[in-house]
Amino acid sequence: MKVVLVTGGAGFIGSNFIRYYLNKNQECVVINLDKLTYSGNLSNLDEVVSDNRYVFVKGDILDKDLVLRILGGDYSPNGQKVNRIVHFAAESHVDRSIKDSSPFVQTNIVGTQILLDALRESWNKEDSDMRFLHVSTDEVYGSLGETGYFTEDTPINPNSPYSASKASSDLLVRAYYETFKMPLLITRCSNNYGAYQFPEKLIPLVINNIVKQENLPVYGKGINVRDWLYVMDHCEAIDVVLENGKLGDVYNIGGNNEWKNIDIVNLLCDLVDDALGREKNSKRLIKFVQDRLGHDMRYAIDASKIKNELGWSPKYVFEDGIRETVAWYLENKAWLENVTSGAYTDYYAKQYGDGV
């Protein structure tokens, strides 16, 4: 039976992954270790909270004793030892890393090292079918010009404190694989979109602001290009790599779906206005603001390795995925209110959301 430790499972991708995993597997245990920072929200998991295969542990990946107890089975319903780890927990927003990189160094680098050390201590090479998947980002590769794609062999060249912290953690994972031959895997994906994303990131922030008829602050000229991947496609790809990926390898995961930021903002204006039955005039809210420092121009993933070796490619058509996403945010106003009010207000866009 799979006993999965998911770190950062109360965040955007982690919570979607937990729902996906419990739906897909009858017999399994999922233990969610999450510190509940501003971007972690237990209401992301309302649907599974009473599932007896799901366990929530509030805690920090920097707490090695806690991680060791979880791996040893102390938090599993029947004391089962963990045999899968999917590591999402991270500080994830580039703008915040530009303002203060310390939490990024702590969680993303030191936290990953602590998880690796806890696994090294508890892992029994002989009787374990353990697999640990480290979820990383295409941002570790740096920025592309107008042409070309990131492959797994593209040299790491991070430009923001966020991507530098993720690249550092990738290198630790690589080094622990080379040194200790631990059962480790790395995935690097492009920008995800979908339900339950904290509304400091481009798509939910823009939807939220259109609904409230507030300014849509777009960095520079809005010509930076991102490759958008539906979060449910990403969850499936993670599961495929977790079970079938070659240990020690890196797998790129992309949507083959490049968009300029300004085109996404324009599209969202039309979709939200349409869905709310309003006159299509929200584009007037677009305000170009001073560009993000060190703003990467273009990311684009070559995902042929995961397709050729593991048979995965994205299933969702962007036009459908983005419509479903818009509909979800419009139907879940209470969730939006919850995550952008009260204790979250200090961190929310007023302070950090300079642009998208």
Separation of alpha carbons 112 and 105, rounded Å: 10
* Least distance CB 153 / ligand NAD (angstroms): 19
Residue type at position 74: D
**164-203: which residues touch ligand NAD (CB under 6 A)?**
166, 189, 191-192, 198
Binding mask 238-257 for ligand NAD (x = CB under 6 A): --------------------
Nearer residue to ligand NAD within complex by CB, 20 or 283: 20
**108-137: which residues touch ligand NAD (CB under 6 A)?**
111, 135, 137
Name which position in 3, 4, 5, 11 contacts ligand NAD (CB under 6 A).
11
Nearer residue to ligand NAD within complex by CB, 18 or 282: 18
Residue with the closest Cβ to ligand NAD? 11
Task: Retrieve residue 260's tokens.
Answer: 């300029």
3-state secondary structure the chain: CEEEEEECCCCHHHHHHHHHHHHHCCCEEEEEEECCCCCCCHHHHHHHCCCCCEEEEECCCCCHHHHHHHHHCCCCCCCCCCCEEEECCCCCCHHHHHHCCHHHHHHHHHHHHHHHHHHHHHCCCCCCCCEEEEEEEHHHHCCECCCCCECCCCCCCCCCHHHHHHHHHHHHHHHHHHHHCCCEEEEEECEEECCCCCCCCHHHHHHHHHHHCCCEEEECCCCCEEEEEEHHHHHHHHHHHHHHCCCCCEEEECCCCEEEHHHHHHHHHHHHHHHCCCCCCHHHHEEEECCCCCCCCECCECCHHHHHHHCCCCCCCHHHHHHHHHHHHHHCHHHHHHHCCHHHHHHCHHHHCCCC
Nearer residue to ligand NAD within complex by CB, 11 or 321: 11
The reply on whether position 13 binds ligand NAD by CB under 6 A is: yes
Catalytic residues: 138-139, 162
The reply on whether position 208 binds ligand NAD by CB under 6 A is: no
The reply on whether position 89 binds ligand NAD by CB under 6 A is: yes
The reply on whether position 339 binds ligand NAD by CB under 6 A is: no
Nearer residue to ligand NAD within complex by CB, 217 or 254: 254
Binding mask 251-290 for ligand NAD (x = CB under 6 A): ----------------------------------------
Task: Retrieve residue 207's tokens.
Answer: 């939807």
* Least distance CB 320 / ligand NAD (angstroms): 19
Nearer residue to ligand NAD within complex by CB, 112 or 282: 112
Separation of alpha carbons 355 and 95, rounded Å: 9
How many CA atoms lie within 13 Å of 330's alpha carbon, on the beta-carbon side? Answer: 16
Task: Retrieve residue 30's tokens.
Answer: 């999922």
Nearer residue to ligand NAD within complex by CB, 40 or 321: 40
**58-87: which residues touch ligand NAD (CB under 6 A)?**
60-62
Among the residue ranges 54-62, 72-80, 178-186, 210-218, the one whose residues contact ligand NAD (CB under 6 A): 54-62
Number of residues that bind ligand NAD (CB under 6 A): 30
Name which position in 5, 22, 39, 325 contacts ligand NAD (CB under 6 A).
39
| Among 329, 327, 320, CA closest to 197 | 329
Name which position in 88, 104, 219, 316 contacts ligand NAD (CB under 6 A).
88
Nearer residue to ligand NAD within complex by CB, 114 or 282: 114
Name the residues that contact ligand NAD, by CB under 6 A.
7-8, 10-14, 33-37, 39-40, 60-62, 88-90, 92, 107, 111, 135, 137, 166, 189, 191-192, 198
